[in-house]
Structure 1
Amino acid sequence: MSLSNPVSRRALRHTRAIDIHAYSREDGLWDLDAHITDIKTFDTMLASGPRKGNEALHDLWLRVTVDKQLTIVDAEASSDAVPYPGHCNTIGPAYKALIGLNLMKGFRHAVKERLAGVQGCTHLTELALVLPTAAVQAFANDVWPVNERSSTATEKPFQLDKCHALRTDGGAVAEFYPRWYVNKTDAA
């Protein structure tokens, strides 16, 4: 673990885990299977009744199918464990509202418009919001070239100017993407 050592003794009380798997399909589409769990280490009394420690409070799934432009062509959600059975686990069909959205073009804003509040499940909607960066990682070097050696494109690689390390006036771009490096002192 690369964080500093805790300054005090502590006890694990809750774990939230998010897991996303990306699959290329025979038909040229991609599935992003996202899973979120919330687990407490102790017995908990919920409004709906007791939940044993280490038993999931939330065990939720979201799958989106995207084309190579990252447009969602299908979506589904399911809930294996929820705090309010018979209520929480009825929202799955609402996630069809993701169909037609593009993960790279205003996706997070559109998700909030379509599925915020009572229109969706807080946890499934939160899970949807992490899909764009997971898709980028899945597509990198598989669908999109990401380095000078594999790229024959004349357009700037998609990842440049999308984060601190890959700003076009920075050292990483000068070293790994010299064709796209912009020396601000020369440009002035």
Structure 2
Amino acid sequence: MSLSTPVSRRALRHTRAIDIQAFAREDGLWDLDARITDIKVNATKLASGMREGGTPLHDLSLRITVDRQLTIVAAEAVSDAVPYPGFCNTIGPAYAALVGLNLMKGFRHELKQRLSGVAGCTHLTELAQILPTAAVQAFANDVWPTHDAASDNVPHEKPFQLDKCHALRTDGGAVARFYPRWVASKPELA
């Protein structure tokens, strides 16, 4: 299903693109390489000078390295295009503060505690906020099974994705259909 047809003519003015790639490393760790770009169609006058249309206002990258438990063991950030050269692009080393955080255990809260406001870059911190779900997608079927292993005659815990979103709630139809042994029992009426 696509978005509805716009109700009036419109002209593209700005594109924000976010790209995240996950890499399994030979040493057993994983790299998540994330990039955010902001590009205006027309020339833009910034306090620091003119930026030609089609030239990135922001081109920022963040790499975190995680173990198989999703604990960050290394982090680095670079700013290749920024609106205030010599200022914005000096914050990269601050993102080492992510080391030791776990993407699945209070990560977004800790990220804000460590790198919000003047302690970080608004755009890099925003980019970091979406890394937990990107890591889950990367680990699905590669590190964590997403099927119900009961048919494999292997003892298995509840699949990790159940009760993590609307569609896969254990009292819902998708779980009843695709993961029947994990359907939550309905409470009995007194």
TM-score grouping bracket, smaller chain normalisation: over 0.9
Q: Could you tell me which of 164, 180, 187 is aligned with 2:166?
A: 164
1:113-145 CA-partner distances (Å, limit 9, x unpaired): 000000000000000000000000000000000
Write out aligned runs for 1:9-158 (5 A). Answer: 9-149=9-149, 152-158=154-160
For 1:65 and 1:160, how far apart are their aligned partners in 2? Answer: 26
Aligned-pair identity (%): 77
For 1:13 and 1:140, how far apart are their aligned partners in 2? Answer: 36
Name the counterpart of 1:184.
Answer: 186
What amino acid is the match of 1:29?
L
Q: Which runs of 5+ in 2 are unaligned?
A: none
Contact in 1 for aligned 2:148/2:156 (Cα 8 Å)? no
Structure 1 position 183, deviation (Å): 3.6
Structure 1 position 94, deviation (Å): 0.1
Contact in 1 for aligned 2:19/2:34 (Cα 8 Å)? yes
Shift of the 28–55 alpha-carbon distance from structure 1 to 2, 3 Å rule, reads: same
Structure 1 position 186, deviation (Å): 5.3
Contact in 1 for aligned 2:170/2:184 (Cα 8 Å)? yes
For 1:154 and 1:146, how far apart are their aligned partners in 2? Answer: 11
Instruction: Give runs of ≥4 in structure 1 deviating > 2 Å.
Output: 149-154, 185-188
Shift of the 154–55 alpha-carbon distance from structure 1 to 2, 3 Å rule, reads: same
Between 148-157 and 39-48, the greater mean CA deviation after superposition: 148-157
TM-score normalised per structure 1:
0.96
1:48-102 CA-partner distances (Å, limit 9, x unpaired): 0000001000000000000000000000000000000000000000000000000
Shift of the 98–20 alpha-carbon distance from structure 1 to 2, 3 Å rule, reads: same
CA RMSD for the aligned pairs? Answer: 1.5
Name the counterpart of 1:175.
Answer: 177
TM-score normalised per structure 2:
0.95
For 2:96 and 2:155, how far apart are their aligned partners in 1? Answer: 35
- Matched length: 188
